[in-house]
Structure 1
């Protein structure tokens, strides 16, 4: 029967691309089998994961250029810990009551009308001008 114990570990990381600093909590399960072989199983939220020293990914930008600090390093250097980011504003989703009319659609932005209207007006103007100055001559 294997013999072992669990120990919690906190690993601080810094992304070398975006300079984001964060910590991750792990539980390290160290086991020794009947033959004396020692094994470490790393758990994050109860799920087995690779050891943090192998291929950690930045949660902010997705880069794999990440370095780690000794455990407890950020507790002694709080200036490295970034301020928490503000919570994003919730999206407004209008609720339409049964029997009520939906809100009127807003008109297209002026820039879009200008972007579509000016080339069309120029084309129509050119065609009118070309037909007035050089009317089509019948072929004999």
Structure 2
């Protein structure tokens, strides 16, 4: 990679599920490789991340149905000024000798989705195995 330059960009987002509005700051490193191709490296808090249009997740509800606005959009629309970042819910240590419980509000979406898809699938497979076992037993 050859020398390049950095820009700072603030990207406003809105969750299409819970309508939460927030803004994230990025540093974009613009570089040119040895073959003359332009390369962008996106950084958030000094860590390389995917570009903001690629798989952004709502920090409020965890949904991936997120839209972005053009840079500077929130400055031109003060009625949409983002709320402060949501505070994480407190995590309590379980009492001695008792397993901890996670409230339904703290369960993330992928976990609920896996349960919603996994339980019916497990029941279907179990039924099919039972039905095939009974059918084989009746033929012998």
Shorter-chain TM band: 0.5 to 0.7
- Checking the alignment, whether the CA contact within 8 Å between 2:59 and 2:86 is kept in structure 1 is no
Alignment of 1:1-12 (within 5 A): 2-12=2-12
What is the root-mean-square deviation of aligned Cα atoms in Å?
2.5
Residues 49, 18 of structure 1: CA spacing in aligned structure 2 closer, same or farther, 3 A cutoff? same
Q: TM-score normalized by structure 2?
A: 0.59
> Once the 2 structures are TM-superposed, how far is the Cα of residue 34 of structure 1 from its aligned partner?
2.3
Aligned to 1:25: 25
Aligned to 2:49: 49
Aligned to 2:64: 64
> Once the 2 structures are TM-superposed, how far is the Cα of residue 84 of structure 1 from its aligned partner?
3.9
Structure 2, unaligned runs of 5 or more: 91-140
Alignment of 1:95-106 (within 5 A): none
Q: Distance in 2 between matches of 1:66 and 1:86?
A: 17
- Secondary structure, aligned partner of 1:13: strand
Residues 5, 82 of structure 1: CA spacing in aligned structure 2 closer, same or farther, 3 A cutoff? closer
Q: Distance in 2 between matches of 1:64 and 1:5?
A: 31
Q: TM-score normalized by structure 1?
A: 0.59
Residues 26, 37 of structure 1: CA spacing in aligned structure 2 closer, same or farther, 3 A cutoff? same
Residues 63, 35 of structure 1: CA spacing in aligned structure 2 closer, same or farther, 3 A cutoff? same
When you count helix as a share of all residues, which structure comes out higher?
A: 2
Structure 1, unaligned runs of 5 or more: 91-140
Kindly name which structure, 1 or 2, has the bigger radius of gyration based on alpha carbons.
1
